[in-house]
Structures are given as C-alpha cells and as structure tokens.
C-alpha cells in the first residue's frame, strides 16, 4: 500500500484514479480506455492474485526434466552466448477479472516482474454464467456460450459445462480460468498445443469474446449471466 501512496501518475487516466475521480475498474474497461500504468489496476483491484504459466523445462536425462516458469533461450554473438529468460504471468481476482502478460529479460526476476506488469495492463472483464443445457442452474459457475481462440497454429474451443464437472482443459489454461472465476468447462484444442505460450494466449483470446459480444436480456436470465450486457 505504501508503494501506491508514493505513486506519481504519468498519464491522465492515472491522475484521475489517484485523485478519486474514477473509483471502479468498470468505468475504464466499459469505455475501452487504454491502461498504461499497472498501479491503476493495483488501486482499483487490490485483491488480485498472481500465478505463472509453466512454459519452460529444466534439463534432465533422456530429454525429461521438471517443468519451470522460465523459458531459456540463447543467442550466439561475437562476444559469446547471450541468455534470455521469458516468463508468462496471469493475474485475476477469481470474480470475473483476469489478465495475461509476457516478459523477457537477461535475468529471471526482471522477466517475472515484466510479465506481471504486462498482465495487469491487459486486464479484461468477462461474463460468467451457466450456458450448459445439461445444467441450467442459473449460477455463474461456467460461461454463457461457446468461445473460440487462436494464437499462431494453436486453436482452442471452450464450451459451457454442468456444475461439478470442473475444468476439463489443459493444466496451464486451468490457472487462467480459475483466476477468472470459472469453475466448469469443456474444451477442445487443435494444432501445436505443446507450445504453451501460444496455448495460454489462445485461451485468453477466447475469454475476450465473453466481453466483446452482446447478450440479449432473455438469454442472460436463462444462462444465469452475472453482469449486464456489453456491446461489441
């Protein structure tokens, strides 16, 4: 909290948040305003949780090794090998707000900090509901309709599921959905799903559709959508 008190905003939006003119993150997201300072999200969503996507792998015998959060790459130069670490972070409050970001640096800690910062700058608000015909309970435990996302050659389809099924999706995508507040889904993937960076961003792009499409009030009531309609 002391860091936010010492924060000196550099953008007009940051100054409005610091002065108290903007008191809700919805005022920013609903208007499509660009967030350029992570402190804006820290102030309006103080209960954010952070997790890292396991995109790397440590060395082991016969190609096996423990999964790790940092992907290490090397570039050959005249001065020798230059090592770079890449990290993917996800932030969310488990109640409809989630963000995903990637960061790279020569050291692990700066790469992690960059990824968390970019995840906060990419925060989105999603709709939750119960769009499964098998359930129709009206509680916002799943998603209201089927969504599709693609990054590179990796594609993913996420479908509503009945209560109690849990998250039938890749382990790294589970981290994104949990921090978004989604508990039950079906999923299907295509392409090079071993590329976990593309898989994570394909999942995030699919979740973006939950806030980009307009939902009719009658369908909102039937699917148990928690929040009001948004126009694309």
Going residue by residue through the chain, which has 232 residues, state the pLDDT in tens, using 9 for 90 and above. Answer: 567 888 999 999 999 999 999 999 999 999 999 999 999 999 999 999 999 999 998 776 655 678 899 999 988 888 888 999 999 999 999 999 999 999 999 999 999 999 999 999 999 999 999 988 888 788 899 999 999 999 999 999 999 999 999 999 999 999 999 999 999 999 999 999 999 999 999 999 999 999 877 655 554 555 566 654 344 3
What are the beta bridge partners of residue 88?
53, 102
The DSSP element (H or E) to which 83 belongs, if any, is strand 80-92
Q: Is 227 exposed, middle or buried (0-12, 13-18, 19+ CB in 10 A)?
A: middle
- The candidate with the shortest Cα–Cα distance to 102, out of 56, 158, 156, is 56
Domains annotated on the chain, with CATH? 1-46 (no CATH), 147-223 (3.30.230.10)
Phi, psi of 24 (to 5 degrees): -140, 140
- Spatial distance between the Cα atoms of 135 and 149, rounded to a whole number of angstroms: 24
Cα-Cα-Cα-Cα dihedral sign, residues 155, 105, 107, 109: negative
- Spatial distance between the Cα atoms of 23 and 140, rounded to a whole number of angstroms: 25
Task: State the pLDDT at residue 61.
Answer: 61
Task: State the pLDDT at residue 43.
Answer: 95
- Spatial distance between the Cα atoms of 69 and 55, rounded to a whole number of angstroms: 6
């Amino acid at each position: 909290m002391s860091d936010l008190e010492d924060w000196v905003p550099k953008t007009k939006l940051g100054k409005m948040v610091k002065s108290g003119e903007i008191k809700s993150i919805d005022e920013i997201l609903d208007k499509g305003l660009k967030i350029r300072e992570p402190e804006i999200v820290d102030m309006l969503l103080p209960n954010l949780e952070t997790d890292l996507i396991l995109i790397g792998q440590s060395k082991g015998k016969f190609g096996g090794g423990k999964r790790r959060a940092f992907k290490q790459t090397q570039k050959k130069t005249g001065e020798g090998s230059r090592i770079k670490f890449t990290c993917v972070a996800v932030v969310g409050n488990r109640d409809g707000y989630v963000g995903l970001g990637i960061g790279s640096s020569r050291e692990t800690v700066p790469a992690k900090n960059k990824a968390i910062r970019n995840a906060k700058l990419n925060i989105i608000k999603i709709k939750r509901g119960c769009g499964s015909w098998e359930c129709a309970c009206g509680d916002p435990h799943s998603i209201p309709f089927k969504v599709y996302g693609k990054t590179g050659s990796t594609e993913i389809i996420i479908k509503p599921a009945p209560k109690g099924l849990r998250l039938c999706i890749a382990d790294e995508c589970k981290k994104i959905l949990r921090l978004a507040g989604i508990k039950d889904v079906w999923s299907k993937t295509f392409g090079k799903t071993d590329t976990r960076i593309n898989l994570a961003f394909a999942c995030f792009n699919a979740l973006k559709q939950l806030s980009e499409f307009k939902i009719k009030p009658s369908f909102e009531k039937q699917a148990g959508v928690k929040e009001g309609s948004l126009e694309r």
